[in-house]
Amino acid sequence: MSPPDTRLRITEIFLSLQGEASRVGLPTVFIRLTGCPLRCGYCDTEYAFQGGEWMDVPAILGRVRAHRTRHVTVTGGEPLAQKSCCDLLRVLCDAGLDVSLETSGALDISGVDARVARIVDVKTPGSGEVARNHWANIEWLTPRDEVKFVLTDEADYVWARERLAEHGLAARCPVLFSPAWGRLDAARLAEWVLRDGLDVRVQVQLHKLLWGQEPGR
């Protein structure tokens, strides 16, 4: 259990449907931490770069428990940029919640509680942040985790296909190929995956299909 005075800067806590990964469609409480060291070209949460409200871990847990769901996602920004993120994740797991973490893949995931499902975003050239990938994270991946590539064009797809083979990612955990919203047609991506026989899941962002890019949904 973390000390009661452990605090994190929070942009928002809200209930929605999980829009991505294997938990897609499940009612989920999202805890969006403030701040991110990356500046991806397709980022849809720039409002979380600054501001936010300081909250201690017990207060965050209380907000989560006010919603009637056991699924919780800690996201950002980049949640691991706050040093108390791992404390929060551990407390959420201790509370019996099903916890996932959405992280950019630029920071070390080895200290994350093993009960947490880590959704690791591998940055493609089209993101503008490919040099920030922390490739050592691959060694820490388990079947409980997932790797996500957000693709902006065919060049990104080819690059991701090569990394998939180079690192044997599909043998480590589920792999997600996602079209960048407004940049790549999902049907084209599906055709490439079928053509090449890749062992990946093509995903679209359910929350954006339902509500567009409205913050807090």
**Over the chain, what is the mean pLDDT?**
95
Q: What percent of the chain has pLDDT over 90?
A: 89
Whole-number percent of the chain with pLDDT over 70: 95
Does residue 1 lie within any of the structural domains?
A: no
CATH number of the domain encompassing residue 32:
3.20.20.70
SS3 (DSSP) at 96: coil
Separation between Cα atoms, residue 83 and residue 86, nearest integer Å: 7
Q: Is residue 217 part of a domain?
A: no
pLDDT for residue 97 is more than 90? yes
Number of H helices, E strands in the chain: 6, 9
Q: What is the pTM of this model?
A: 0.93
Range(s) of the domain holding residue 63: 7-211
Question: What is the band of 215 on the pLDDT scale with cuts at 50, 70, 90?
Answer: low
The reply to whether 95 falls in a domain is yes
The 10s digit of each residue's pLDDT in 198-209 is: 999 999 988 888
184 falls within a domain: yes
Assess if residue 180 is contained within a domain: yes
Contact of 150 with 122, CB cutoff 8 Å = no
Q: Is residue 24 part of a domain?
A: yes
Residue 1 clears pLDDT 50, i.e. is over it: no
Greatest distance between any 2 Cα atoms in the chain: 53
Q: What is the pLDDT of residue 142?
A: 97
pLDDT score of 208: 84
Number of domains in the chain: 1
Q: What is the pLDDT of residue 217?
A: 65
Beta bridge pairs of residue 29: 15, 72
Q: What is the pLDDT of residue 87?
A: 96
List, for residues 134-163, the tens digit of each pLDDT value: 999 999 999 999 999 999 999 999 999 999
